[in-house]
Amino acid sequence: MIHEPPRTDQGKGPRKDPSNGPRNHARSDLIDDSLPGTGRPGGDRSADNLSGDVLLPGDDGYADAATTFFASGKPAIVVRPRDAAGVTAAIAHARREGLALSVRSGGHGLLGAATNDDGMVLDLAHLDTVELVDPVNRVVRVGAGATWGRTMATLAPHGLGLTAGDTAGVGVGGLTLGGGIGRLVRKHGLAVDNLVAARVVTADGRVLVAGPDEHADLFWAIRGGGGNFGVVVSFDFVAARIELVHFGSITYRPDDPERLVTAWRDHMRAAPDSLTSTLALVPPMFGGSAAATVTLCYTDDAVGPLRAIGPLRAIGQVLTDNVRVLPYPDVLADAHRPPGGRLLSRNTLVRALDDDVIEAAVAVYRGGTSVVLRSLGGAFGRVPADATAFAHRDAEAMIVCGAFLPPDATDADADAVLAPWAAVARQGTGVYLNFQGSDAAADLATAYPPRTYARLAEAKRRYDPDNVLGRNHNIAPGNSAPGNGTPTEGPDQ
């Protein structure tokens, strides 16, 4: 069995368990009754049962814990439990004190829902163990607070890997609960397609093991339904045998983007499942020039890299080509916090990347907004639509747009930038919520077909009827259609 050592937190001053003492006793002498959510009048210190680290405003490390990749907050309290019992205690405390509850895994959610003002942040950073619990069947247990980079680095010496996100710092929890599109999605499907069990703490404090044979409705819902149904503390995945991959980028002259996208599409339609790629069209920004780039990941198969990758070198005039053989963990990039300003991001899943879709996508790029097209199909498309809560298995590609606006940009400014996107979105059939920068009822309706949404709402009614876990792309308990409940913020653990 392999173990990944727990992360060492940066900063000093978190309110930890007493040394040499049981973890179910927080440092009550460090809890200030004057702060919301940390005590009750008359000396009834309701935080005394919190375990792990407790961070309050002013503590070293609090500012980092209150800040996510895309947002900053001022929570009344941050709790970092070390086990499921600690998660249960934190949820109970938040409910008792009436605190809004944000759950944080990696903190990369576009809506910044992993932080808040005046509530609780439940930070899963200490739940980051990686274990190979069944070497014969390659079952890997990963804590929800682990990052994909650390997970891949731990598995690599054993010749194993998981289909994961694009960046090393993304949390396993958030990406998986939203479905999990990664660099090898055509070869190994979504992250949830490799999930065989999960340990979930429900809003009422139960600790459940969800899998195909127990709590199957919960197991179905967490595979694409987000963090609506409980706090997942660990995931059991079946890892794949992955050691070396061909990975890198090819850049092209961007003077004929329609032709480039069409040629890329045609090749990906004929390509083996072992090849997954994206095509990014980036307009001039931040002093740089326009760029067109294919980023690819290929695992060896009978086709061979020359036949699989070679045609991509002929779809346009190549400027640079750094495709090379790498250890699989090295494909995960180090993400850097974007410059100050307002990020706009939208996406759609399209059944067919036909000429009309390409024309609309290129028009968005010509209007000054970045566009990224991501190839799907392969293993992703062979999963039945009703097998998981991620139902859009017939999509050929995902198209994402992104733009940065000044910090003082208004909603009207944002609407003007996004106006050309409407022509793309109208031709889509679904949305990948992990990449969606808005949380309107229309987003839920597009993400989940009616039957899927109805099943999710029933699962929500059963496992979180009071909507304690509501800071996400929220599914209202028992409502048969989106928009019948109270809208809440953002996707994310």
Structural domains counted in the chain: 3
Say how many Å lie between the first and final Cα of the chain, rounded.
27
Q: Are residues 86 and 144 in the same domain?
A: no
Q: Are residues 415 and 287 in the same domain?
A: yes
Cβ atoms of 106 and 171 closer than 8 Å = yes
Q: Are residues 112 and 151 in the same domain?
A: no
Q: Are residues 335 and 387 in the same domain?
A: yes
Domain boundary among 241, 268, 303: 241
12 within domain boundaries: no
Q: According to the model, what pLDDT value does residue 333 have?
A: 85
461 within domain boundaries: no
Q: Are residues 393 and 429 in the same domain?
A: yes
Q: DSSP assignment, residue 160?
A: E
485 within domain boundaries: no
Residue 233, burial from CB neighbour count under 10 angstroms (0-12, 13-18, 19+): buried
pLDDT digits (tens), the chain, 493 positions: 444 433 433 333 444 443 333 333 233 333 333 344 444 332 233 455 899 999 999 998 899 889 887 778 999 999 999 999 999 999 999 999 999 999 998 877 777 788 999 999 999 999 999 999 999 999 999 999 999 999 999 999 999 999 988 889 999 999 999 999 999 999 999 999 999 999 999 999 999 999 999 999 999 999 999 999 999 999 999 999 999 999 999 999 999 999 999 999 999 999 999 999 999 999 998 888 999 999 999 998 778 999 999 999 999 999 999 999 999 999 998 877 666 678 889 999 999 999 999 999 999 999 999 999 999 999 999 999 999 999 999 999 999 999 988 888 999 999 999 999 999 999 999 999 999 888 888 888 999 999 999 999 999 999 999 999 999 999 999 776 786 444 333 334 4
Q: According to the model, what pLDDT value does residue 402 have?
A: 93
Query: What are the CA-CA distances from residue 31 to residues 55, 59, 76, 79, 308 (Å)?
Result: 10, 12, 12, 12, 60
Q: Are residues 109 and 203 in the same domain?
A: no
458 within domain boundaries: no
Crossing angle of helices 355-366 and 257-270, in 10° steps, is: 140
Mode of pairing for the β-strands spanning 244-252 and 324-327: antiparallel
From CA 370, how far away is CA 420, in angstroms rounded? 12
Mode of pairing for the β-strands spanning 207-210 and 120-123: unpaired
Q: For the sheet containing 130-134, what is the strand order?
A: 130-134, 139-143, 231-238, 195-201, 207-210
- CATH number of the domain encompassing residue 161: 3.30.465.10
Q: Are residues 54 and 182 in the same domain?
A: no
Query: What are the CA-CA distances from residue 436 to residues 108, 127, 180, 470 (Å)?
Result: 12, 26, 13, 17
6 within domain boundaries: no
Q: Which amino acid is at 268?
A: M
Q: Are residues 402 and 292 in the same domain?
A: yes
Q: Are residues 333 and 193 in the same domain?
A: no
- CATH number of the domain encompassing residue 116: 3.30.43.10
Q: Are residues 119 and 75 in the same domain?
A: yes
Mode of pairing for the β-strands spanning 195-201 and 120-123: unpaired
Alpha helix stretches (DSSP H) within 197-300 = 216-222, 257-270
Q: Are residues 435 and 317 in the same domain?
A: yes
Q: Are residues 284 and 396 in the same domain?
A: yes
What the block records as the tokens of 380 is 């992703």
Q: DSSP assignment, residue 3?
A: B
Q: According to the model, what pLDDT value does residue 47 have?
A: 53
468 within domain boundaries: no
From CA 482, how far away is CA 446, in angstroms rounded? 10
Q: For residue 412, give its domain range.
A: 244-440
Query: Is 370 strand, coil or helix?
Result: strand
What the block records as the tokens of 220 is 């179905």
Q: According to the model, what pLDDT value does residue 414 have?
A: 92
Is the whole model's pTM more than 0.85, yes or no? Answer: yes
Domain boundary among 221, 241, 261: 241
482 within domain boundaries: no
64 within domain boundaries: yes
From CA 45, how far away is CA 55, in angstroms rounded? 16
Domain boundary among 123, 142, 167: 123
Q: According to the model, what pLDDT value does residue 338 have?
A: 66
Beta strands in 76-129 (DSSP E): 77-80, 101-104, 120-123
Q: According to the model, what pLDDT value does residue 1 have?
A: 41
